[in-house]
Amino acid sequence: MRELTIKDLNALNISSKGPMLSLYLSKDMSILDQKSMSDRWKELLLKAEFYLLKDYTRSFVDEFMKKLREGKYLEKLEALDRGVVVFYSLESFDGELGYMKVQSSINDLIVVADSFHIKPLIRIRNNVKGFFIVTMSSRAINVLIENHGHLVKLDSYRNEPGIDGNNKKDSKEFFMNSSQELNKLFAAYRLPIILAGVKDHIGHMKRLLNQSMLMDQYIVGNVEKMKALELQEKVYKILTPYYEKLEQGALKDLEVAMNRGRAITFLEDIAISAVYGKISKLFVVENRFVWGSINQKTGEIFIAPRQVNAHDDDVLDDLCQIVLSKGGEVVVVKEINNFKGHYAVAIVTEKPHVFDKEFIVDNFQSEAI
């Protein structure tokens, strides 16, 4: 099995004539029932079989599910991983399982459809974009960067004695010289920066760094004795409210767009706007589903009362994929109270296509040509 990265969304944004299975399994104790991950995994595979057998023979289903039953991915989960995501189809990844480990709270989910279900992954991508940790002591300043769930040392500045054997620089001079290099480094990125060390060092460095992405919160302690896993866990606690604030900022953009008449809320209008590339930003609720399908040329929606077979998909997920393929932005949010009962809201570049039937006919004919 190969591990997927957050950047693989484009590779996942495909469709197939055969079944495509997307499985999300959480190990976050705050949202789980009492069943083990192994038991819940077996239940999800049974659900997948139920949908597959609606459209495929038992022999095909048994062969298709074989690799999923033999997978050892659960053994590869690490201490901070909150779950695993598995994607599988006969045509994708050269017939191999594609999977990723995540540090995000996810709900157990199995979707069998004609395309992968990537909506939860979009939210993970939007909320785990990487960060810097600057660990400080009088002897060394280290810069670590998060890379796909792992901390990697990017640079190090050491307070060494001079070649003449003289004493090390005092802390203020050492921090001054190091901060100049840090400011050059951080200028090339747009990632949150978290400082870690004793309070005196943190206070001094905060005055020297001229960075808008420097977090107000910091990690206090003897960083020379902290392990990487401990640092990561402390950083996640700092960044959770930060990303929630960013999400609220995006919702404020939506509120402005609605006041200016640049937002639409009906799924039929959103689907038409999506296929014609008229959506600049789409908002969908993560744990809500509208089963059915979308005509990729006209935007016509077919709604089902629930997932019935191996071809029904979550229309909200399909909308996400269409908007991404057209160059738009997608924001997946947890809460529903900001949407006034709607499961999706879109900011559009223009509206005439929603109401102009001639526009729809002309565009449909041009698509056919």
pLDDT in tens, 115-132: 899 999 888 777 666 889
Of residues 12 and 368, more confidently modeled: 12
Sign of the CA dihedral running 220, 226, 228, 230: negative
DSSP string, 318-347: HHHHHHHHTT-EEEEES--GGGTT-SEEEE
The confidence band for 93, taking pLDDT boundaries of 50, 70 and 90, is low
Q: Which residue has the tokens 């690490």?
A: 78
Read off the pLDDT band of 250 (50, 70, 90).
confident
The 10s digit of each residue's pLDDT in 304-350 is: 888 888 888 899 999 999 999 888 989 888 776 667 778 899 999 87
The class that CATH gives domain 261-368 is: alpha beta
Give CATH 3.30.420.60 domain extents, the chain: 132-242
What CATH number labels 2-117?
3.30.960.10
- Kindly report whether the global pTM for this prediction surpasses the value 0.85: no
Q: Residue 246 to residues 56, 243, 251, 255, 275: CA-CA distances in angstroms? A: 44, 5, 9, 14, 28
Residue range 132-242 in CATH 3.40.50.620:
no
pLDDT digit string, tens, across residues 268-280: 999 999 999 999 9
Burial 326-347 (b: 16+ CB within 10 A, else e): eebebbbbeeeebbeebbbbbb
Ranges for all domains in the chain classified under CATH 3.30.960.10: 2-117
